Amino acid sequence: MIKPDGVHRGLVGDVIKRFEQRGYKLVGIKVLVPSRELAAKHYAEHDGKPFFPKLVDFLSSGAVVAMVFEGKDIVRTGRTMVGATNPLASSPGTLRGDYGIDVGRNVIHGSDSVESAMREIALWFKADELADYTPAWIYE
Ligand code: RTP
Ligand code: MG
């Protein structure tokens, strides 16, 4: 998910491009301004932590782009492409390492496990909003 800072900064195209050129398949995408309730559900694992209120405020402060990508090892590779939570600790070449310096403005969210991805996909998308197709010119 591209967070409000990434959308405001015009980084949507670059984020999608990086996943596309790596070979991942975009199967779902939507733009929305999340409610505080949806943002809190998304980050429920952090409820009670000191940064939680700010996190929910920020995620619901503007438009986000929610996406579902498919492909080999997408969760692990996706997290590598996203970079470390704190952009200052993210390597150049990662999204956060290329675009951020502040932990509260780190451009993008990436699911941290397959289980989290399944939960988050169900939270943000209806089943009929995900496309079922095979781009046979990339995958054997
Ligand atoms: P995300 O869920 O957004 O992909 O980020 P992440 O897995 O790398 O990090 P996570 O621990 O899940 O934290 C969620 C978001 O909360 C903000 N955060 N602030 N100490 C702090 O002030 C702090 N720690 C985390 C970050 O924006 C992080 O992306
Ligand atoms: Mg996380």
Smallest Cα–Cα separation from 101: which of 78, 118, 79, 84? 84
Please indicate whether residue 139 or residue 22 has the higher confidence score (pLDDT).
Answer: 22
14: in domain: yes
| pLDDT > 90? residue 130 | yes
SS3 assignment, position 98: helix
51: in domain: yes
Domain count, the chain: 1
Which residues' Cβ are closer than 6 Å to ligand 1?
A: 46, 51, 55, 85, 103-104, 106, 109-110, 112
Q: Where are the beta strands (DSSP E) in the chain?
A: 25-32, 64-70
Q: Which residues contact 114 (CB under 8 A, 6 or more apart)?
A: 75
CA of 33 to the centre of ligand 1 (A): 19
91: in domain: no
> pLDDT tens for residues 3-36?
999 999 999 999 999 999 999 999 999 999 999 9
89: in domain: no
| pLDDT > 90? residue 139 | no
Q: 20 lies in which domain range?
A: 4-72+111-129
Query: For the chain, first and last CA: distance in Å?
Result: 28
CA of 116 to the centre of ligand 1 (A): 14
* Cα 9 to Cα 6, 19, 44, 86, 124, distances in angstroms: 5, 18, 26, 18, 22
> pLDDT tens for residues 59-108?
999 999 999 999 999 999 999 999 999 999 999 999 999 999 999 999 99
Task: Determine if residue 69 is labeled as part of a ligand binding site.
Answer: no
The CATH number linked to 118 is 3.30.70.141
106: in domain: no
Q: Confirm whether the ipTM is greater than 0.95.
A: yes
Q: Stretch 38-51: mean pLDDT, rounded?
A: 98
For residues 10 and 101, give the distance between their C-alpha atoms in angstroms, rounded to a whole number: 17
Task: Determine if residue 77 is labeled as part of a ligand binding site.
Answer: no
Instruction: Say what the pLDDT of residue 8 is.
Output: 98
105: in domain: no
